A and B are shown apart, each in its own frame.
Chain A
Amino acid sequence: MIGNWLDIGPVTQIEPGSARTLPVEGSDEIAVFHTMRGEFYALVNVCPHKQGPLSQGIVHGDAVACPLHNWNISLKTGNVLGEDDGCVPTIPLKVDAGRIYLLREAVLGQTSPAGAD
């Protein structure tokens, strides 16, 4: 793929309703989600609450429930839903011809979510 998109492999490697991880050397790990409705999203794999690994949460609709304390995070916006506050950086993602691509500069240039130290 040309341009600054990073090919991370075929869509089939992530079961719908789940997520898989992409460690980035020198930076935070990224979680790539596949929702039950077939959409793909990528977030920094760090919960804004206490750094829980979002990739391990239950995916419902287009949100994920953090496995540590059950905060719900929107996969679309990275915002924490409901009464809690916070936000996780999202990584632009596109699917083309059955493969998943992440925006290279976002993968490499991401910073820790607000609130995380």
Chain B
Amino acid sequence: MNAPMSFEESRQAGGTRETLVVIGNGMAGCRAVEEILARDPDRYAITIFGAEPRVNYNRIMLSPVLAGEKEFDDIVINATEWYEDNGISLVSGDPVETIDRDAKAVVARSGLRVPYDKLVIATGSDPFIIPVPGHDLEGVVTFRDLDDVNTMLAAAANGGEAVVIGGGLLGLEAAHGLSLRGMKVTVVHLMPTLMERQLDEAAGYLLKEELESRGQTILTGANTKQIIGDGEGKVAGIELEDGTRIKASIVVMAAGIRPATGLAKAAGLECERGIMVDDNMVSSDPDVLAVGECVQHRGLCYGLVAPLWEMCRALADFATQEPSGYEGSVTSTKLKVSGIDLFSAGDFSGGAECEDIVMRDAARGIYKRVVLKDDRIIGAVLYGDTADGNWYFDLMRKEEDISDIREGLIFGQAFASGGALADPNAAVAALSDDAEICGCNGVSKGTVVQSILDGAASLDAVRATCKASASCGSCTGLVESLLAVTLGEDVQAGPETLCKCTSFTHDDVRGLILEKELKAIPQVMQELHWTTPDGCSTCRPALNYYLLCAWPGEYEDDQKSRFVNERLHANIQKDGTYSVVPRMWGGLTTPNELRAIADAAEKYNARTVKVTGGQRIDLFGIQKQDLPAIWADLNAAGMVSGHAYGKALRTVKTCVGSEWCRFGTQDSTGLGVKLEQMTWGSWMPHKFKIAVSGCPRNCAEATIKDFGVVCVDSGYELHIGGNGGIKVRVTDLLCKVETEQEALDYCAAFIQLYREDAHYLERTAPWVERVGLETVKAKLLDDPGAIERLAARFRYSQTFMQDDPWAKRAGGERSDLHAHIAEVRPLAMEAV
């Protein structure tokens, strides 16, 4: 009796028209019906149930309705006449509450019961409401149907503030609409970049900047803790996890959607995230089909309309006896915010086997990225210029081999399809002599070629002679092509770039950070045309340092761009444990400190306790989780981090000096302590060591330190650029000063010059050799105000650096860096 019948069989069995019931009067439900009618208009007697009290409309156009660019009437897809003309009974405003599969009938809220031969479930999705306290207050709305839009419009009529939770497609369109309607909008987004599922970090950053320039406030990495009420059951604002409070008379929850499977689950149909369907859109019950956002097909649930059109075609083919099968969709996204061009498709998360082609044009605000795998496009993100979006999408869907047009691919269809011009060198060769190569400096091709013929055989030489590519750098590729075309094999390699992600050198990058006032890593990458989306482990720490040095107090240190030692403020050891070195100012200690160190060593099972070559004590074998606790204990005894792990000031080594030593000329220990107190905490291009010896016997080995002081009867000899490491280098004498204060000022000035000039990971010794002792001396000594200015800059920057990182961590900051996420014990079989 219950053996599955095909449509044809049951039709013949019934003799009359079969009854088709559709649950969901939305985009998929009605489209499925349209497709069936187009194939076989007389096959079914159709009833459509819709929870919403209205006809079928284009849901995606709710955004323009909210923004005031469209009216509801403009977005209706099928008006009342369509239902009438096709003999469809529409039951609107009356949701189906039960599917009685045994009796093959559905029952609506009103009690209306309609039997079916075939059922189509097209219930769409439910907006996900984050279950934070206050989520049920009046004024907390979702963005799914016309009623939601009307609620938002009513709120916007009074102006005021709105908060949108969720910086995805939906949230940003809601925010855009509300701000056009005159509200002051804050978008609160959990992830670090907007639309992170469609955009990579670079494009997300550009989008954020654009929206902020339009007056919206965008908070990324922000987690909502609760929605605050006004005491009368209405929304007054929200509170974030970090305690920030934002006023709002309306809170839009746009934190995602869930396939609406409740009805199907209750009816015992197989569901995972969505209602499980096969390629013909048939559920686990052969008489029940499902289509649209509510389904899960080959493991995927979709949240866009394009897949749903394809599903509806397959469903109709099957329902009219011409099964074709749906094979899943590749999707692309565009943001419907006027004036913002943004396109994304496919998989752009990259990976081992993938290759990125990135083009950035900072001047025009353009970012393009195409992801390739095995010579095929698998993803694309375009910002600012989306003209080629469809072309890339097409190549991607057809899985076309692009190896022939690879070189010119990123420049777009017009360029890449130009036959011979697909080779960028050929394209450049074909340009006329007066074609402009460098827009910033107005340099034509003829001029560049001439300077190459005159002997400029490298990128740098071209930059120096004719200024092409010397400013924003976006024409670097063109200049390189011209070099290749003009010189063939004789092109000289340029100077070493910061890393493989950029064609700029360290000096270029440092200079441009200041000149263009670049203040964030993604901004540097965009403006300087980084060729990777988010850099590598070489450039990220370097940029972090350069920004920190350029903008003290303003730039927020990026922990994820720091090497583990600097992130955890301890040295990682080969077995994954850590060593802990508290500061001992100038090598001095007290019984109290020693006792605290001894106690800590016992309490945290330090397996080795060693006096270091830098005059302090190292505790080895400490576990990552114990670090905050051991620091708290050491802090309690008055000790702070020794930065033994950092590209930072390390130790200031001293000898006993005039206080005890029969040869001592000055208080070398005292000066050492003062130097260390002035300089500790400072981040540097590389590690930096200081020593002070009380006389030329030099017991503190001051002449192999980055900055060394040798005391003499008449004052202080200041030495720079020493190194006792891999390649020993004895210091050069900088100058001699008379007072202790001068020694301190010169030290501060020298450090600042090094901080501002050296390349990341370049110690003072190689730096002095590279730029020349004379240059360093000239910069410090020739200009009478130089010492004062540099020292002042150093001291200013120190006002932000000298807070003990250990104390903050011991106080609970960033405990996530130390604690495990959970633990698994196989016996209990549970995460704790």
Contact = CB atoms under 8 A, between A and B. Distances in A.
Are A and B genuine complex partners? yes
Interface of A: 6-9, 11-18, 20-27, 30, 32, 35-39, 50-53, 56-63, 65, 67-68, 70, 72, 74, 76-77, 79, 81, 96-98, 104, 107-108
B816 A23 contact: no
A15 B823 CA distance: 19
Given A37-B200, A67-B564, A108-B826, A61 B534 contact: yes
13 contacts: A12-B223, A14-B821, A16-B221, A20-B821, A24-B823, A37-B534, A50-B574, A51-B575, A58-B537, A58-B564, A67-B564, A79-B352, A81-B352
A17 B822 contact: no
Contact of B352 (A39, A53, A74, A97): A74
Contact of A25 (B190, B560, B821, B825): B825
A51 B351 CA distance: 22
B555 interface: no
Contact of A60 (B196, B534, B817, B824): B534
B826 A22 contact: no
A17 to B, nearest CB: 3
Interface string B343-361: 0000011111100000000
Given A13-B821, A57-B564, 10 more contacts: A8-B831, A9-B831, A17-B561, A22-B821, A22-B823, A37-B193, A38-B193, A39-B349, A63-B352, A72-B537
A30 B826 CA distance: 14
B533 interface: yes
Interface in B525-544: 532-537, 540-541
A97 B128 CA distance: 9
B191 interface: yes
A79 B409 CA distance: 29
Contact of A61 (B130, B192, B533): B533
Contacts of A26: 826
Contacts of A74: 351-352
Closest A-B pairs by Cβ, 7 of them? A17-B560, A65-B537, A38-B196, A74-B352, A56-B564, A20-B821, A67-B564
B559 interface: yes
A22 B192 contact: no
Interface string B550-584: 00000000011111110110001011100000000
B757 interface: no
A36 to B, nearest CB: 5
A24 B128 contact: no
Contact of B561 (A9, A15, A58, A81): A58
A8 B823 CA distance: 9
Contacts of A30: 824
B273 interface: yes
B34 interface: no
A51 B822 contact: no
B351 A76 contact: yes
B532 A58 contact: no
A24 B828 CA distance: 11
Interface residues of B, number: 55
A16 B560 contact: yes
A60 B536 contact: yes
B197 interface: yes
Contacts of B341: none
B27 to A, nearest CB: 24
A13 to B, nearest CB: 6
B352 A38 contact: no
B128 A21 contact: no
A56 B568 contact: yes
B401 interface: no
A74 B827 CA distance: 31
B239 interface: no
Nearest to B572: A67
A116 to B, nearest CB: 13
B52 interface: no
Interface of B: 128, 130, 190-193, 196-197, 200-201, 221, 223, 258, 273, 348-353, 532-537, 540-541, 559-565, 567-568, 572, 574-576, 624, 816-817, 819-827, 829, 831
Contact of B192 (A36, A52, A97): A36
Nearest to A56: B564
Given A12-B223, A37-B349, A22 B537 contact: no
A18 B349 contact: no
Contacts of A36: 192-193, 201, 534, 560
A114 to B, nearest CB: 17
B205 to A, nearest CB: 11
Nearest to A23: B823
A10 B238 CA distance: 20
A78 to B, nearest CB: 9
Counting chain B CB atoms within 10 Å of each CB, which of A21, A35, A37, A74 scores highest?
A: A37
B406 to A, nearest CB: 20
A30 B128 CA distance: 30
A69 to B, nearest CB: 10
A7 B831 contact: yes
Contacts of B624: 56
Nearest to A100: B821
Contacts of A65: 536-537
A89 B410 CA distance: 35
Nearest to A10: B223
Contact of A62 (B221, B351, B816): B351
A15 B624 CA distance: 17
A68 B572 contact: yes
A9 B822 contact: yes
Contact of A77 (B258, B352, B572, B821): B352
Contacts of A70: 537
Contacts of A13: 816, 821
Contact of A18 (B348, B534, B559): B559
Contacts of B565: 67
Nearest to B575: A51
A7 B829 CA distance: 11
B532 A61 contact: yes
A12 to B, nearest CB: 5
Contacts of B534: 36-37, 60-61
Given A16-B191, A16-B560, A36-B192, A24 B201 contact: no
Contact of B563 (A22, A51, A58, A107): A58
A21 to B, nearest CB: 5
A96 B822 CA distance: 18
Given A16-B192, A58-B561, A35 B349 contact: yes
Contact of B273 (A59, A96, A108): A96
A62 B350 contact: yes
A35 B562 CA distance: 15
Contacts of B576: 51-53, 56
- Among B349, B575, B624, the one with the most A-chain Cβ atoms within 10 Å of its Cβ is B349
Nearest to B522: A36
B560 A15 contact: yes
A12 B824 contact: no
Contacts of A27: 826
A60 B821 contact: no
Contacts of B128: 97
Contact of A38 (B197, B532, B568): B197
